[in-house]
């Protein structure tokens, strides 16, 4: 479960490395800057939500919101 920007960024980094992608490769492929990807992976809380979700989806991660019990 992801509860903050730092955990979200860590999940992005883990998945990127699992796939064997560098930040530079992901930047070329996605069109997002290496700076954005680095900031996102480091948990920058002001990273753009739309771009962040798009990048997660691009890496094969689903973002799901579920109500707490």
Q: What pTM was computed for the model?
A: 0.92
| Whole-number pLDDT of residue 18 | 98
Measured CA to CA in angstroms, residue 24 lies from 14, 16, 29, 49, 59 at distances of 15, 11, 9, 21, 14
pLDDT lower than 70: segments of the chain: none
| Whole-number pLDDT of residue 1 | 85
Domain ranges of the chain: 5-58
CATH number of 5-58: 1.10.260.40
| Whole-number pLDDT of residue 16 | 98
Residue 36's φ and ψ, nearest 5 degrees, are: -60, -50
| Whole-number pLDDT of residue 22 | 98
| Whole-number pLDDT of residue 69 | 87
């Amino acid at each position: 479960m992801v509860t903050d920007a730092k955990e979200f960024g860590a999940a992005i980094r883990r998945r990127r490395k699992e796939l064997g992608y560098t930040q530079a490769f992901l930047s070329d492929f996605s069109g997002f800057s290496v700076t954005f990807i680095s900031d996102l992976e480091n948990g920058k809380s002001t990273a753009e939500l739309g771009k962040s979700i798009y990048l997660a989806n691009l890496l094969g991660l689903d973002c799901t919101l579920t109500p707490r019990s």
